[in-house]
Chains A and B, each alone.
Chain A
């Protein structure tokens, strides 16, 4: 069956974080930061390989990254890394069934225990931590 016939929402539906609460924002950020980190990671391997060409090449490379743009990218990477790590720990615990509540009869109006404050707080914390780390990074890099 093709996607159209199935009336799939497609990537837009998968990526739209506006409709179903912060959990869905976390889901999207997790993907984006994962991908971002992967890109950075590959670039970082390429970047560091310049060390093989000796000091000149390394310094040229450093110079290339030690620009305002480079710093901003690096700050972003720091932020992504912190978010992905902290949220990753939350997600792993959740995936293992920890902190998702205990099964039991629910009473109307139903509040699903898995969508609980613990997880929401953890998500907000990872965002805040990421922001702090980014600012710290920026301060270090620009504050020379």
Chain B
């Protein structure tokens, strides 16, 4: 038999002013199943909570309704109080008499009547409440970090420093990502590799970090705390265990003229190669597409010269399973292909290059040893035009959004160029200069004032190549309001920042959302910027939105903190509001399985002792279920129910109205 206690709060004057709280508690006391009906000035105060605890114990209450403020305000408070008195916290419900009643109605009679109704509804509900226990799921204290750029490296190092194991997966042969390709970094102009490579080495050598380069996520099973991720270890054709990285193989390799991706195609590599001298691990892989041995079975030179017999042409992709409790996605970005702009040469003009190409030209470790030489004829360009917002802020051909980093790296490029070519002209076309950030505005001003970069506000309408090799850049100076034509030797386009190819597929594997541009969606744009809708999956870096290095690193550390927080307890506790299937009545129409946003509803075979399948039904995975209840309402026979919002509770609430 139900013994419900109803506690009406005046909230000082907030409720009492418009609702006759005494009348409400008196009416409540007469409701079926109610044994206590009292009102008090401040229920959330210590004496108020004491009043509830006392009643629970002395009156042996089986349920409690607190008529007060919004449950969003104090449900935790009162449920905690109930728990202290030995009542299961989920046997307490709140009627919202303040936000939904006293504050929005002025007529006392009406407000009081509504308050009584709201309390009656909650009394009816709480009579059907069942004691619920928080869902406990064990946590595998190992993190998977996908992407070996600065974001992934930082996240991995922080998690490892926190004493937890990390599996760092990188699709390329080496970690380091784009940052390893940069010459200097704004706004301090310190050498990118100088600050990055120590981190790369640390990541590779850290006892808590397992590095998996040249590898990709193939499939994902499980849920927060208990993911099983299958990693595809791509065939390297070089046994890293045997290889010492001596370099004999790639020095002898006859296939020499493969454009080097790392150098944005400006330099060349062999068919067996390490992407760059400081690569980690510093061990070559064979590019099967270009290797004549793997293609035609001819050559085999590298195997001959390898002193350790590390070359294995029979090598194949392997699948490896790892169990992890949390995942950090740090897959980064790439530059949008400006070939879409016919007016800029459609990608056919060799001296119209993108930001990365310029980084490689300016980099001491680049194909030109740090000398600015234009690709077509290797001459030093005397006039360089830099073009911002190439594909950004252009929803016709390019992207709607601002790529955020281009203003700064263009200023840096202009600066670096002027440092290397004293007489050279650096002309920057821009729409706006967005230099919000510590030391950023100063940096741009330096480029203009100290280093004499010429900033022209306006767009470039077309770039054409003249016979003599000059690039004729026609545009408009919108400040002066006149057309400008510049004869340039090199044009650098600040192409838009876009997600890596295949990032959608990866998001789908992990159940992470992404926007129309393919950037991963955070759980909340303000308050949960590193979480995703998929519990236990976090974001770091430019895979979520264009970011510069400091931002990327801070988000990576934030993600690491989230992971460490998740790993702090051996088990994780979740709200027990989850769906349950009545296997006796389930007809296995699979509507719930199709509807579940989390893949928590699954097929389940009912088997006899001999293991023979008697019947298939639907089942809900407690770890994955988030408690939306969509499955319950697509179930025609109502064989799925939702704890905390059961059919019985809702039916009772409706009958009380």
Q: Do A and B bind each other?
A: no
